[in-house]
Amino acid sequence: MIKNYKKEIILASNSPRRKEFFELFNIPFTIKAFEIKENYPTKLKGALIARYIAEKKATPFKSIIKKNQIVITADTIVWHQNKYLGKPKSRIEALEMLNSLSGKTHKVITAVGFLTFNNFKCIDVTTEVTFKKLNKSLIEDYINKQNPYDKAGAYGIQESIGILGISNINGSYTNVVGLPVAEVIDEIEKH
């Protein structure tokens, strides 16, 4: 899809979903990610949280990036009732998150950072997602059989709870999966 691209693309993410998107669209890349704590100043809200973490993920590369490279970082959050929902750390937390999303609309926000030798740019994309009222057995079955622990808000739109539970989506589907692909490709082509 991206033809004759001159820069070496480094995807600074261990997300299998982001990797799959790059492979699906034949974007040449390598993966290199540093472990960082995904914490942020408590005064930040919504997209500013995702932007802060995406830039934090780029920070270790700032001293080692070469002129022919672009490092792409990303962070996806769920913003619900003026509250940040990241990846659940326990079964109880996953249950609480899914119960709080049940029957309501929330925002999925992904910030994507583009670090080059000369600068850092960040974009963010927001998608509104509405869950129907989720019954207890659907939530329990999902937590027992799939992995809610590596996903913001404790769910994957492409998994059973998303397929059966989401009644409406307003915006980018790929954003909810973890990477707003159309916007990312546009930015790569600008560089």
Backbone angles phi and psi of 18, in degrees to 5: -65, -40
Q: Which position among 75, 141, 150, 186 bears the catalytic label?
A: 75
Neighbours of 101 (CB within 10 A): 25
Q: Which amino acid is at 25?
A: F
Q: Which amino acid is at 153?
A: G
Judge whether 75 counts as a catalytic residue: yes
Which one, of 102, 98, 124, lies nearest residue 113 by Cα?
A: 124
Backbone angles phi and psi of 71, in degrees to 5: -105, 130
Q: Give the distance, in angstroms, between the CA of residue 74 and the centroid of all CA atoms in the same chain.
A: 6
The residues annotated as belonging to the active site are: 75
